């Protein structure tokens, strides 16, 4: 399960920060990723709860910033946000489109500590 390794690397980062900045408890975390990155927020939350037990991040709340799917259309020169990926511009039905957002890798944006 790839959520496991994601959470593990986040916990590793937290441990490093905890040593460097000397905090003892994490209150909340903000994580961002693209909507097309195959990450299930619920699975991530569940995995985090289990894996963070006994670490400085135990009991911390997770906040997600999920980046929308955006395609750039070369016919109307616009960026359009989509609910689901399609290789067609919903406005002009043009097919000369480029995926411009939604595949962002997971990133730890903020850590709120005590």
The residue within the footprint of Zn ion, chosen from 5, 53, 61, 91 (CB under 5 A), is 91
Contact pattern from residue 1 through residue 40 relative to Zn ion, giving x for each residue in contact according to CB under 5 A and a dash for the rest: ----------------------------------------
Answer yes or no whether residue 94 interacts with Zn ion by CB under 5 A: yes
Answer yes or no whether residue 68 interacts with Zn ion by CB under 5 A: no
Decide if 68 contacts 35 (C-beta within 8 A): yes
CA distances to 57, 76, 80, 107 from 91, in Å: 45, 8, 8, 31
Q: Across the chain, which distance is largest between two alpha carbons, in Å? A: 54
Stretch that binds Zn ion, among 29-37, 53-61, 64-72, 83-91 (CB under 5 A): 83-91
The residue within the footprint of Zn ion, chosen from 92, 99, 100, 108 (CB under 5 A), is 92
- Return the DSSP state at 54: T
How far is the C-alpha of 71 from the C-alpha of 103, rounded, in Å? 11
Contact residues for Zn ion, defined by CB under 5 A:
73, 75-76, 89, 91-92, 94
């Amino acid at each position: 399960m790839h959520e496991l390794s994601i959470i593990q690397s986040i916990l590793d980062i937290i441990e490093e920060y905890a040593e460097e900045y000397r905090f003892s408890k994490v209150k909340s975390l903000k994580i961002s990723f693209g909507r097309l990155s195959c990450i299930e927020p619920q699975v991530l939350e569940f995995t985090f709860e289990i894996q963070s037990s006994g670490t400085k991040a135990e009991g911390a709340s997770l906040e997600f910033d999920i980046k929308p799917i955006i395609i750039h259309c070369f016919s109307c020169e616009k960026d359009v946000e989509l609910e689901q990926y399609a290789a067609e511009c919903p406005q002009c039905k043009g097919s000369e489109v480029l995926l411009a957002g939604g595949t962002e890798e997971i990133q730890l944006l903020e850590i709120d500590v005590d």
